Amino acid sequence: MTAPRLPADLHPPRMDALARLPVFLALKGKRVVMVGGNAAAVWKAELLSAAGAHVEVFAPLPADEMIGLAENPPSGTVTIHHRDIAADDFADAAIAVGTFDDDGAAAQFAATARARGVPVNVIDKPAFCDFAFGAIVNRSPLVIGISTDGAAPVFGMAVRAKIEAMIPRGFARWAAAARRWRGALFATGLSHPRRRRFWQIFARYAAIHPDREPTQSDFEGFLEETTHEAPDNGSVTLVGAGPGDPELLTLRAVRALQSADIILVDDLVAPEILDFARREAKKMLVGKTGHRPSCKQEKINTLMVTLAKAGKRVVRLKGGDPMIFGRATEEIAACRAAGIPVEVVPGISAAQGAASRLGVSLTDRGRARRVQYVTGHGSDGRLPADIDWTSIADPGATTIVYMPAKTLAAFAATAIASGLDAATPAVAVINATRPDETVIRATIADLPQHLSAAQPPGPAVVMIGRVFSRVPAAIADTRPASRAAR
């Protein structure tokens, strides 16, 4: 008998190393020193002025563009000193920026600034820089910075162009409205979950109406919608994480992950999926894996309800689609019995993900009349006794077998004995849509032996039917060489 296990805190992998820490400096009213008066210096001086800094430029012979900038700066003042910089000029500077052709002069500038505790940037000379300027998408106060750590500036600009196309210019007005309204919202005395709900309504509306000018009536409307919702009793959302590839998450799934307080995670969910969740959200592993220690379903139900009653927004994150062999009915019933609002966000199923990678339609015209989903094991871990074997033997059906690893041999033998042609094409897909996806193609008679030899380390789905005769050999032959049954 498989021993039960208790829900446990999940500690996702640490953040990957960062080439640069993205930091947004508040420079309004602060002094910045700039050495150089050429075109590169002009652009940086304009950028710094736009951020509200008082820019002091040291250049014996500044370009006409720099003189013009000083006469008409975007925000903070630009003052030109027609001389070289001196050590005392770094006093009280927030940052120092310079442009030099000579590495020796650049090194001296950087050393002098650092000696006075001033972070320094030497334009186009990363070796002398404490910080870097990235490509910018400006929807201020919404500002997006992009850095490639100097490795590929052109690529950074290409990414910037993509983001520019995605972010409407009207978002600047909505971001400005958010800044105006934050204090007023806090003054209402709403609870933290209610305030967060206000901003969710705000963001949803802004995304739909980016070019509208936000008004006070919008604020009042969002506030009314927030305050008239049900009390803060928490909620549960069953979210389908898909078969593994994070890019297959739905937009609604991403929104649910980003608004969750607590995420209850299945064993089979790809770790990369959690990168879309709020970092502050608590993650708990409530694994249910066949033939290994698993959390009892009753404990999972109780945990969901208890957390939601405490006012938490709970996401129950499941691999594939929660409505296909995901115990969704039991979890929905538990929430409804406790009066907890429950929502389901469907996901791409393992069968859909696997079929898309194979390039095979599960309902290929002329080869399949229907698709049927079958579980490979019952509650006791054995082949279910109530499978409709006549239906499995139907040559016009495409059959998808979930959780087949331990019972496929018995499944295949019984299906063949019930009339299924032993030569029917079959495919096992392990870790569908993930980088380590493995595909094994054989007849249904031979597939159990191949799957057993492969000893798949991840979730597998077996698909049976005439439609799989069209699986290209190049796609199917992806078994690890050390394990492949030839």
The token duo for 153 is: 């500036």
Q: Is 321 a catalytic residue?
A: no
> How far, in Å, CA of 340 to CA of 348, rounded?
26
> How far, in Å, CA of 144 to CA of 63, rounded?
30
CA 75 vs. chain centroid, Å, equals 36
* Nearest CA among 202, 134, 135, 136 for reference residue 173: 202
The token duo for 207 is: 């995304």
* Nearest CA among 447, 247, 481 for reference residue 356: 247
CA 113 vs. chain centroid, Å, equals 40
The widest CA-to-CA distance across the chain, in whole angstroms, is: 95
* CA dihedral sign, ordered 364, 433, 482, 474: positive
Catalytic-labelled residue, pool 288, 312, 318, 394: 288
Report whether 371 contacts 398 (CB < 8 A): yes
In the chain, the N- to C-terminal Cα span, in Å, equals 35
> How far, in Å, CA of 467 to CA of 364, rounded?
6
Within 8 A by CB and 6+ apart from 237, the residues are 256, 260, 313, 314, 315, 316, 342, 343, 344, 345
Catalytic-labelled residue, pool 89, 266, 321, 394: 266
Q: Is 266 a catalytic residue?
A: yes
Residue with tokens 């538990």: 334
The token duo for 216 is: 């006070």
CA-to-CA dists, residue 48 to 75, 156, 278, 356, angstroms? 9, 20, 32, 49
Report whether 49 contacts 74 (CB < 8 A): yes
Find the Cα–Cα–Cα–Cα dihedral 160, 162, 164, 167, rounded to 10°. -130
Report whether 384 contacts 415 (CB < 8 A): no
Please list the active-site residues: 266, 288
